């Protein structure tokens, strides 16, 4: 009897492993339709997997976009999803520790304790809400249709971080941890349907932005523009 139970358990484990493997293979196939391991971060690909699990079509998800931005060259956007209620623009962050910030603050704060050195560290980083707002402004400039479409901004914090004091977040913007993604999508999809005038134009503009990321010159130009904007090479001490 005990041997039978052991074999039964082993059989269940094998089936579970096969099921997990098959799910991963199917998931990998879906990811291959959208992106590659050479682009973006693990967290971005994890978010794409979650969007697929929610039921969003791979054709509606655009990853690692480089959108033309006039004199600034291009703006790099993590993920854009085209939906029946408008465009959802995702900014993905990887941080540990406590996160503090307000919607209109230029800088947010990351605070964490290093147990090995027995010290508390704080770092300031550019407000991701404002960062994603700038991405949406660039997208709205791409066509007359884009200018009139509803946009939703979602900032997702991956890593061992905790949103301790985040406030004054503007309407249509969400700051979340990954496990709340479904809740946010439920809220967004409760809005009225967007009035698209040419869905093919939307897909073309977003696909072109993704294709721009395959161009090494575009990537290099983007990096150089960011360096020039920060101007750290012009600080001498």
Say which CATH number the domain at 161 has: 3.40.1350.10
**How many domains would you assign to the chain?**
2
Can you give the residue range of the structural domain that contains 84?
A: 41-229
Q: Does 215 reside within a domain?
A: yes
**Residues 139 and 57 occupy one common structural domain:** yes
Residue 31: predicted pLDDT: 84
**Residues 200 and 106 occupy one common structural domain:** yes
Residue 236: predicted pLDDT: 56
Q: Does 211 reside within a domain?
A: yes
| Residue 95 CB coordination number (10 Å) | 19
d(CA 29, CA 26): 5
d(CA 73, CA 47): 27
| Residue 137 CB coordination number (10 Å) | 12
Q: Does 118 reside within a domain?
A: yes
pLDDT in tens, 45-104: 999 999 999 999 999 999 999 998 876 678 999 999 999 999 999 999 999 999 999 999
Residue 19: predicted pLDDT: 42
Residue 128: predicted pLDDT: 97
**Residues 26 and 47 occupy one common structural domain:** no
Low-confidence stretches of the chain (pLDDT beneath 70):
1-28, 71-72, 215-237
pTM, whole model, 2 decimals? Answer: 0.81
d(CA 100, CA 231): 26
**Residues 67 and 16 occupy one common structural domain:** no
d(CA 48, CA 62): 9
**Residues 120 and 154 occupy one common structural domain:** yes
**Residues 100 and 15 occupy one common structural domain:** no
**Residues 162 and 129 occupy one common structural domain:** yes
Cα-to-chain-centroid distance, residue 122: 24
**Residues 56 and 15 occupy one common structural domain:** no
| Residue 208 CB coordination number (10 Å) | 15
Q: Does 182 reside within a domain?
A: yes
Q: Does 234 reside within a domain?
A: no
d(CA 117, CA 170): 38
**Residues 15 and 102 occupy one common structural domain:** no
**Residues 175 and 219 occupy one common structural domain:** yes
- Tokens in use for 63? 């990853």
Q: Among 76, 78, 134, 80, which residue's Cα sits nearest to residue 106?
A: 134
Handedness of CA 99, 35, 66, 181 (dihedral sign): negative
Q: Does 173 reside within a domain?
A: yes
Residue 1: predicted pLDDT: 52
**Residues 64 and 114 occupy one common structural domain:** yes
**Residues 128 and 204 occupy one common structural domain:** yes
For the chain, how many residues are written? 237
């Amino acid at each position: 009897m005990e041997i039978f139970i052991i074999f039964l358990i082993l059989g269940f484990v094998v089936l579970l492993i096969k099921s997990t493997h098959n799910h991963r293979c199917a998931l990998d196939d879906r990811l291959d339709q959208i992106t590659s391991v050479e682009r973006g971060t693990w967290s971005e690909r994890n978010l794409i997997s979650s969007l697929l699990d929610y039921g969003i079509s791979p054709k509606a998800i655009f990853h690692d976009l480089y959108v033309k931005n006039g004199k600034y060259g291009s703006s790099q956007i993590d993920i854009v999803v085209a939906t029946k209620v408008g465009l959802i623009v995702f900014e993905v962050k990887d941080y540990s520790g406590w996160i503090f910030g307000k919607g209109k603050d230029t800088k947010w704060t990351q605070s964490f304790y290093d147990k090995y050195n027995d010290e508390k560290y704080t770092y300031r980083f550019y407000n991701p809400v404002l960062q994603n707002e700038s991405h949406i402004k660039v997208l709205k400039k791409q066509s007359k249709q884009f200018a009139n479409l509803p946009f939703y901004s979602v900032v997702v914090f991956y890593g061992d971080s905790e949103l301790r004091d985040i406030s004054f977040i503007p309407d249509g913007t969400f700051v979340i941890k990954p496990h709340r993604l479904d809740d946010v999508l439920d809220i967004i999809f409760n809005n009225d349907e967007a009035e698209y005038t040419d869905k093919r134009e939307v897909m073309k503009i977003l696909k072109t932005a993704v294709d721009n990321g395959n161009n090494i010159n575009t990537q290099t130009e983007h990096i150089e523009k960011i360096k020039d904007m920060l101007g750290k090479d012009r600080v001498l001490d």
